[in-house]
Amino acid sequence: MELLNTLMILGPALCLGAARPCLAQSGGPQAAEEVSAVVVYGDDKLVDGGDPLTDDRLQELLDSLCGLDPAPDDLIRDLQFYKRFRHMDDEGMTALIDSLFELEEVPYALVNEINLYTSQLPLQADVDRSAVLAWSPEVARPGAELYGEWITTRPNPYGPELSARDTLLQIKLVDDALNADFAMPVPPIVTSRFGWRDGRAHNGVDLDLEVMDPVRSAFPGVVRFAGVAGGFGRLVVVRHYNGLETYYAHLHRIKVQSGDVVDAGMMVGYGGSSGHSTGSHLHFETRFKGVPIDPSHIIDLTAGRLLCDTLVLKKTRWSYAAYPKGTRFHTVKEGEHLSAIAELYGTSLKSICQLNGLTPRSRLRVGQHLMVADLPDDPAGPASGRMAQVR
């Protein structure tokens, strides 16, 4: 039991648990030295001023894990990964990340987090100068200029070359003039967040539902894929007019076929538990050019509304860093805490927590990057419908 507790302690720091992966939240290899566990499993304190996670302690843990039968392979792999990552220079990091792409299942979520962690965030002027992908509702094949061929036989036929030349883009999520709106696919009850989970990438969010609950398209678009796809089970993929794609997985029944034009809020199927799923839920993904983007950087998943009308995507070496337009970035300094940071930017504690996957009790690290934006703060707002502006 003792060992299990210790593992729980390591969980968040190693991007394994329900918490947001830690790597995005460190300031650099030096800051990674200061990683301390953050309590995310209920209110239990797991490490209270406990021993720092030293190399010796890591090695001790690894040794004890390897002696278990069966050995928790994924956890051991992640511990070893983490141990190496802590001591790397840029070159080493690059090589290690490249090796992630050789895994059978590329951990895009982890890659995304590392991206945010290592990327130079753009200046406001860069954002202002960058191209905006406008809605183009006339076309029968949305995003053709971005994606080329319209492929209906596979959910994700895109390779990294598709996004290789991107730098900084903005994606309009809604457009009043075109009546392009947003709808929450199902009521916003998150059971699992985007990120590194049990040693694997979780490329979307899980939203609770009962079998046969309706599942709706988030934005207007055209169904590109509708069918059974491995672990996704019954899956619908919708290409939207701004180039985003949304995935609706584990469906019980599919009610559309590829080529169908859907509006925001139109039903694409009934929720269920098909594919690799334990219990009925919607596995919902947002992708751009095949690269998964954390839906919680687009949608307020507690209120079921958009966070912003325009999403900024910055291409990094391995994927995209995505955040609402107007987001600022704060680097945590010695002695700072969340509410003081919120005050500094004239925003709410809730907004900062939500955008960064933190709780008000989360421990911060010096050098950690926090996203700061004024998110809509109207709990009485509609569960789906018009978004609120982010300045």
Residues within the interface to Zn ion (CB under 5 A): 206, 283
- Residue 377's contacts (CB-CB under 8 Å, 6 or more residues apart) are 348, 350, 351
Ramachandran assignment for 274, one of left (phi > 0), alpha (psi -120 to 50 degrees), beta (any other): beta
Torsion, Cα 189 193 198 201, to 10 degrees, reads 130
Q: Which is nearer to Zn ion, 111 or 341 (CB)?
A: 111
Tokens of 365: 């690290």
Separation of alpha carbons 110 and 291, rounded Å: 12
Ramachandran assignment for 42, one of left (phi > 0), alpha (psi -120 to 50 degrees), beta (any other): left
Q: Which is nearer to Zn ion, 268 or 338 (CB)?
A: 268
Separation of alpha carbons 13 and 36, rounded Å: 7
Least distance from Zn ion to the Cβ atom of residue 308, Å: 24
Least distance from Zn ion to the Cβ atom of residue 238, Å: 17
Q: Which is nearer to Zn ion, 26 or 203 (CB)?
A: 203
Phi, psi for 99 (deg, rounded to 5): -70, -25
| SS3 call for 241 | coil
| SS3 call for 230 | helix
Least distance from Zn ion to the Cβ atom of residue 338, Å: 28
Enclosing H/E stretch for 222: strand 221-228
Separation of alpha carbons 30 and 32, rounded Å: 5
What is the gyration radius of the CA atoms in the chain, in angstroms?
Answer: 21
Q: Which is nearer to Zn ion, 217 or 280 (CB)?
A: 280
Least distance from Zn ion to the Cβ atom of residue 232, Å: 9
In the chain, the amino acid numbered 298 is: I
Q: Which is nearer to Zn ion, 206 or 374 (CB)?
A: 206
Least distance from Zn ion to the Cβ atom of residue 390, Å: 27
Q: Which is nearer to Zn ion, 295 or 324 (CB)?
A: 295
In the chain, the amino acid numbered 222 is: V
Q: Which is nearer to Zn ion, 115 or 280 (CB)?
A: 280
Least distance from Zn ion to the Cβ atom of residue 280, Å: 12
Q: Tokens 């899980």 — which residue?
A: 206
Our CA angle for 345, 351, 357, nearest 5°, is 120
Least distance from Zn ion to the Cβ atom of residue 283, Å: 3
Q: Which is nearer to Zn ion, 181 or 206 (CB)?
A: 206
Least distance from Zn ion to the Cβ atom of residue 90, Å: 33
Least distance from Zn ion to the Cβ atom of residue 221, Å: 21
Q: Which is nearer to Zn ion, 46 or 249 (CB)?
A: 249
Helices (H), the chain: 2-13, 29-32, 55-66, 73-85, 90-100, 108-118, 124-129, 144-147, 338-344, 349-356
Residue nearest to Zn ion (CB): 283
